[in-house]
Amino acid sequence: MRCVSKARTANNTSAWCLTIAMALVAGETLAQTADLSGVPGEVVNYQLNATRRYFFSDPEIVVLPNGDYVASHALAGRDSNSGTSGTTSLFRSSDKGATWSSLGSLSNMLRGSLFVSGSALYLIGANKDTAGNNTQIRKSLDNGSTWTTPTGTTTGLFSSVGGPGTPTNPVVYGGRIWAGFTTSVYSAPVGSDLLNQANWTGSDAPPWNGYFGVSGPLWFEGQVMASSATGVVIMPKVRPESPPVNFTAKPPYAAVIGVTSPTTTTFDPATGFVPLPGGEKKFGGSYDAVSGKFYVLSNPVLSMYESGTVPELVRNTGAMLSSKDLTHWDVEKIFLYTSNVYQEGFQYFQFDYDGSDMVVASRTAFNIGGTMDRGHDSNLLTVHKIQNFRTAAPDQLLVADTANNQVLRYEATQDENAPLGSFTLGATFSGAALDKPTDLAQAANGDVYVREQAGRILRFDALGNFISSVSSAPVAFQGTQLTSIVQPASGERAWTQPGSGNWNDIRNWYYWGRPDTNEEIANFGSAVLTSSTVTIDEAVTMKGMRFQSDQQYTLSGSGAITIASGTGSGSIAVQRGAHQTLLSLMLGTDTAASAIAGTSLAFKQAIDLNGKELRVTGAGLFSAEGRFDMNGGTLLLDGLSPFTFGAGSTAILDGVLHFDPDPILTIAAGRSFDLLDGTAYLSGQQFQSVILPPLSGGMTWDTTSLYSTGAVIVVPEPGGASLVGALGLMLYVGHRVRRERSGADG
């Protein structure tokens, strides 16, 4: 067995130190050598060759109370003898993972999970990898140097209990220790004798009831997690068949199974299947009490590998994801990637926390000079760190591919740069395709400027949506590459497909994240090449929506939208084009809706202000063409464009109309302000109250035409200017205010 230490230098070369020279468990002789110089992370153990008949499995790691790390792996494959007796090898590091020493191997043990309880280190797993296996639990009082041997039900041998499917870090919650067993759990009281089977209680497992049209179960290798908000849950992967003939779900999913007692689990298929990048493969997960988030390490499939591969076997990318509620998952960063998708991989991640760092064990397949079969079959146990994981963010770069007329986005990882595809969303920009991009620049606000060889300069937001052509950039161009680019603001999600698609499919969004929380904004930008429909078949909540495409977006489906912001107001912004939603919309918080001149958004289904304020600003058009229900809310208008009621609308005006003029507008005698269009469709409805700005200088508001023409007029108070003079002034100023709204007059 060989343990090595690697220190990366600034120029990404590696210095290696061989610390132990022992024969490998695979039988490698000392004369054989391996090239470990390119292996990312710290190599804990390796074998030169790996095949599907003999490979490393079951990576595990735990941080001990004294600061030491203990890691382990097992052996799998037909030639490993795991069907008769499992073998688990253990290692320890006393210098934060820089160097490792062997603690030897344990027989009759695989699929082992390491955990600390009290002053003892435990390893719980199975004795073998075939039918009739039993759970085994062992105890160490010297940080893994020596272990107890299970001989009976009071010394760590469970009778008639099949072992856990894979490592799943046990957790402490509610005074009990919980260990995952695929889709069920076993638990024991904290402080009890954990080697005594009598102290452990097993739960049931929910049945697979033909979900996704597949009769046989497709959930395996569950990860147990717990928090005060969720209680204990077990999250298994949802694995499609290979090939996925009967598997109809498009995004990768995981399942969230609730544990309601030591003996009972519960599962709701309506809410229990959650989109999770890489969820079709075994993933590691844990709750972090400091951040209040769950973290998962998984293997998402990059878009370039979605065709021609079996997703379950694509393990060349490692990513860290987080969630506050186990339902809405965000990819925080990619930390590992290799382009050798068929022979290399990083997988079955398990991890622990060491202060602000996440310490990760990986079952790694990597070419070190021996025989490689496939990326599934690992020849190394490696350990990686994600430093300052709670604030970790993507480290990305942009590269101008001049020869192929594209700008590409990459993410730097601990191995190769991960290709994320085209940065520029769309095909034509100001009427022409991208032509020989030669220079890139990025402003402090994240906007990216692309200069073509012929001199044209294009401006994109940080998501890759096209904004406009410009005559110059506000910052200096940096050549064909931008490193450590400014990322989009937190919560910004961009539609990335060139046409129609399903909202629920996380692959349709950058960065694998559909906007479905009160912290996220959906950006419908320049990606689509023609009028497109985004289908929403569930109730979604988001902070806001932004439309910035000349091609029409239509939001349709059987679902509904709630605009609600966790901080501040919600938002609806129309910056380019004419768009429509065929879904009902409800406000969960006050919401600001803006549309620039020449743009529009039509609400063809119900709008419910829900007692909140809808502030409509800008010279673009918003129209309500379904039911408009205020429910005591407020419609605030700035007077630059009328709010329009369509022929199919039904207005329930049980709220307040508030006119808050844009500063561009001048309030003067005779001014007429068009606030509403389509008043003929109000069916005699009137607002509960109308709030208008205060006037001075002998002026007052005339609202007698509000429900017939939609206008309010500034008139002299009785006894002021003559009626004839006022009417003449109104004709002149009414014409002027319309010109001001259109921008023709300052």
Residue 345 has a pLDDT of: 97
617, 663 Cβ separation under 8 angstroms: no
pLDDT of 637 above 50: yes
Residue 32 has a pLDDT of: 65
317, 299 Cβ separation under 8 angstroms: yes
Residue 79 has a pLDDT of: 95
Exposed, middle or buried by CB within 10 Å (0-12, 13-18, 19+), for 529? middle
Tell me: the pLDDT tens digits for 362-412? 999 999 999 999 999 999 999 999 999 999 999 999 999 999 999 999 999
Q: Percent of the chain beyond pLDDT 90?
A: 86
Say which residues have a Cβ less than 8 Å from residue 404's Cβ, sequence separation at least 6.
none
Say which residues have a Cβ less than 8 Å from residue 129's Cβ, sequence separation at least 6.
76, 82, 83, 86, 110, 111
Which residue stretches of 253-326 are H helix?
Answer: 269-272
Residue 250 has a pLDDT of: 72
- Model confidence at 721, pLDDT cuts 50, 70, 90, reads very low
The structural domains of the chain, with segments of one domain joined by +, span 2-391, 396-481
Exposed, middle or buried by CB within 10 Å (0-12, 13-18, 19+), for 309? middle
Handedness of CA 40, 45, 47, 50 (dihedral sign): negative
Residue 11 has a pLDDT of: 32
What mean pLDDT comes out for the span 42-57? 96
Which residue has 């609308």 as its token pair?
A: 649
Determine the CATH number of domain 2-391: 2.120.10.10
Tell me: the pLDDT tens digits for 283-302? 999 999 999 999 999 999 99
Which residue has 């709008």 as its token pair?
A: 607
Residue 575 has a pLDDT of: 98
Joined together, the tokens standing for residue 290 give: 């400091």
Joined together, the tokens standing for residue 575 give: 């910056």
Residue 713 has a pLDDT of: 97
- Model confidence at 58, pLDDT cuts 50, 70, 90, reads very high
Average per-residue pLDDT in the chain? 91
Record the pTM: 0.89
Residue 642 has a pLDDT of: 98
- Model confidence at 442, pLDDT cuts 50, 70, 90, reads very high
Among 30-39, 224-233, 547-556, 595-604, the minimum mean pLDDT is found in: 30-39
What mean pLDDT comes out for the span 470-490? 96
pLDDT of 18 above 70: no
Tell me: the pLDDT tens digits for 154-194? 999 998 788 888 999 999 999 999 999 999 999 999 999 99
What mean pLDDT comes out for the span 527-537? 98
Q: Please state the φ and ψ torsions of residue 272, each to the nearest 5 degrees.
A: -85, -15
544, 523 Cβ separation under 8 angstroms: no
Residue 720 has a pLDDT of: 52
Residue 308 has a pLDDT of: 83
481, 505 Cβ separation under 8 angstroms: no
In our burial notation (b when 16+ CB lie closer than 10 A, e otherwise), range 318-353 reads: bbbbbbbebbbbbbbbbbbbbeebebbbbbbbbbbb
Joined together, the tokens standing for residue 122 give: 């435990």
